[in-house]
Structure 1
Amino acid sequence: MTNLETFSDLANQPVEGFKPKPTRLTDEQVEALNPLWTSADAGVKIGLWECTPGRFTADRSEMAEYCHIISGSATVTNLSDGTSRDIKAGDLLVLPKGWLGEWVIHTHMRKLYFLSNS
């Protein structure tokens, strides 16, 4: 049986358990997750993520990521060609499978993430 799931008020859903960001380049940068849904084969993952200001690296070798920015602002840089984009609340960011880059979080950020291995 296929179930329909809905999630509302994403700006106020709890995100708890802040821990040091493993790929941080800035001391004391922390992040937290609230996984909302994972497909049976774990090929798709959807959830909320928050991170404090600072700089970190990101590797999307295994999965593409689609990010809807709920709050905060950042600059995201593609390490392969040096291009960067400024993102803020309301923006949608697409990081294709194989992307390698760096984030600089300017103000505390919350995003809805959608990871896909296809």
Structure 2
Amino acid sequence: MTYLPNALDAELPPAQPKPTSLTGQRESTLELWTSGGAEAGIWECEAGRFTAVRDGFHEICQILSGTATLTGEDGQVVELGPGSTVVLPDGWRGTWDVHTPMRKTYVTVQTGGTSSK
């Protein structure tokens, strides 16, 4: 069992440049658990814009803090804030516009394709 009393206050590793950032922001990830193609953790990102591709895995996110607009290549637009839950299925592509620094918990589950977080 992995237990974290408060994901909002958990200390994350030093932030690193986000590879898909269009605005130069940084991100940090604390992996809490991994097993058999699944992973759970906490992710944090500075305000800015980045692209995302979910090939080879599904991602389920619970937003803890911050706000963002998520725009899929299909044109669907979703506003995210504390308490929001979003599922990004295998094959999802789009853009995150992070308005205020964001922290989320996430679970990814591999589907057998090529994974590129």
Q: TM-score, normalised by structure 1?
A: 0.90
Distance, in Å, in 1 between the alignment partners of 2:4 and 2:16 is 24
How far apart are 1:70 and its partner, in Å?
0.4
Match of 1:62 in 2: 56
Segments of 4+ in structure 1 off by > 4 A? none
SS at match of 2:10: coil
Alpha-carbon displacement from aligned partner over 1:22-81 (angstroms, at most 9, x marks no partner): 000012x00001100001x3x1000000000000000101111000000000000111x2
Whole-angstrom distance in 2 between the partners of 1:62 and 1:14:
29
- Aligned equivalent of 1:33, options 24, 29, 33: 29
Is 1:113 aligned to residue 106 of structure 2?
Answer: yes
2:87 to 94, 97, 107: 94
Structure 1 equivalent of residue 115 of structure 2:
none
Counterpart in the other structure of 1:82:
75
CA contact (8 A) 2:40 2:106 kept: yes
Q: Distance in 1 between matches of 2:84 and 2:51?
A: 20
Aligned match of 2:96 = 103
Question: 1:17: Cα distance to partner?
Answer: 1.4
Please give the per-residue CA displacement for 1:76-97, whole angstroms capped at 9, x wherever unaligned. Answer: 0111x21110000011011011
Identity %: 42
Give the unaligned 5+ runs of structure 1. none
CA distance in 2, matches of 1:101, 1:59: 7
Gapped regions of structure 2 (runs ≥ 5): 112-117
Number of residues paired by the alignment? Answer: 111
